[in-house]
Amino acid sequence: VRRPLVAGNWKMNLDLASARELVSSLAAKLPAEPSAEILVCPPFIYLFPMAKAVNETPIRMGAQNLWPEPKGAFTGECSARMVRKTGCTHVILGHSERRHTIGWTDPEGSVHGEDDSLINRKVHAALGEGLVPVFCVGETLRQRDKGEMEAVISRQVVAGLNGLRPEQVAGLVIAYEPVWAIGTGRTASPEQAAEAHRHIRRVVFEQYGGEAAAGVRILYGGSVTPENAESLMNNEDVDGVLVGGASLHADDFFAIIQACISVKDRG
Ligand code: 13P
C-alpha cells in the first residue's frame, strides 16, 4: 500500500516568524502518527531554522531545488549534500516554475530554463544523497489544447528518470502539475487528474516494470484547496497532493491533510 503524501510547496513566500508559526500551529493539530506523510518545502534560507521547528513533529521537510554537482563555482546554488545536511528528507525537482515561468515573459518562455537532462542530473544527485525527489511533470495549456498531454508527460518522465534502477523509481514521488492549473484557481477535474496519473503509472510500468509502478507515489498539484482535495484524492492512482497557495495557511493545509487521510482510510 502506498502511504499518502501531502506536501506544501511554499515557493518564495512567508517570513521566518510566520513560517515558524505555520509549522507550530500545524503540528499542534496533527496526531502523533498521522497515516499520511506530511511535508513542507521552505525556501533554502529557512531550512536550518525550520529543521528545528519540525523536529519532534510528524512534519518532514524538503527543499525546492538543488544543484547536481557536489561542489564548486556555482554561485547561488546548493548541492544535494548541503540540502540533506539541513535536515531535509525530500527535494522538489523539475517544478514548472523552474522549467519555465508562466506570466513572466513569454507564457511558454523560459526564465530558469531547466531542461529534462539537467533535471535528470538533479534526480541522480538527490538519490545519491538519500533524498527523495518529488519530481514534477505537467503540460502547458497550449500543449493540452494540441492534444499533447500524454506525449509531453511521457517525454518528461522517460528523460527525467533516465538511468534509474527500478527500486529507485519505486521509492520516488512524481507530482503531476498541469501548468495551466498552478496558481490559477483552475483545478484539473478529478477525471483529468485520474487520466494523467494513470498515464504516468503506465509509462513507469513500461520503463521500469511492475514493482516500480506499484511503489511510485504520484501526487496531484495545481490549485488544490480544502474544497477540492477529497474529489481529487478519490482515485486509486492519486497518492497525495502537492499544494502551493493553500499550504501557506495552517487551517487550509490541515483541512487538505484531513481530506486526504479520510479518503485513503476509507480505502
Ligand atoms: P498552487 O497550489 O498555488 O496552484 O501551486 C501548485 C504548485 O505549484 C505546487 O508545487
* Cα of 40 from ligand 1 centre, angstroms: 13
In this prediction, the residues of the chain whose per-residue pLDDT falls under 50 are none
Distance in Å from the first CA to the final CA of the chain: 10
pLDDT digits (tens, 9 = 90+) for 14-24: 999 999 999 99
* Cα of 246 from ligand 1 centre, angstroms: 8
> What pLDDT, on a 0 to 100 scale, did the predictor assign at position 176?
98
Nearest CA to ligand 1 atom 9: 244
> What pLDDT, on a 0 to 100 scale, did the predictor assign at position 178?
96
What pTM was estimated for this model as a whole? 0.96
> What pLDDT, on a 0 to 100 scale, did the predictor assign at position 265?
86
> What pLDDT, on a 0 to 100 scale, did the predictor assign at position 230?
96
Mutation pick for ligand 1 pocket among 224, 227, 232, 253 (CB with most ligand atoms within 8 Å): 224
Kindly state if the Cβ of 9 falls inside 6 Å of ligand 1: yes
> What pLDDT, on a 0 to 100 scale, did the predictor assign at position 105?
52
* Cα of 92 from ligand 1 centre, angstroms: 12
> What pLDDT, on a 0 to 100 scale, did the predictor assign at position 112?
75
Kindly state if the Cβ of 222 falls inside 6 Å of ligand 1: yes
Measured from the Cα of 175, ligand 1's closest atom is: 10
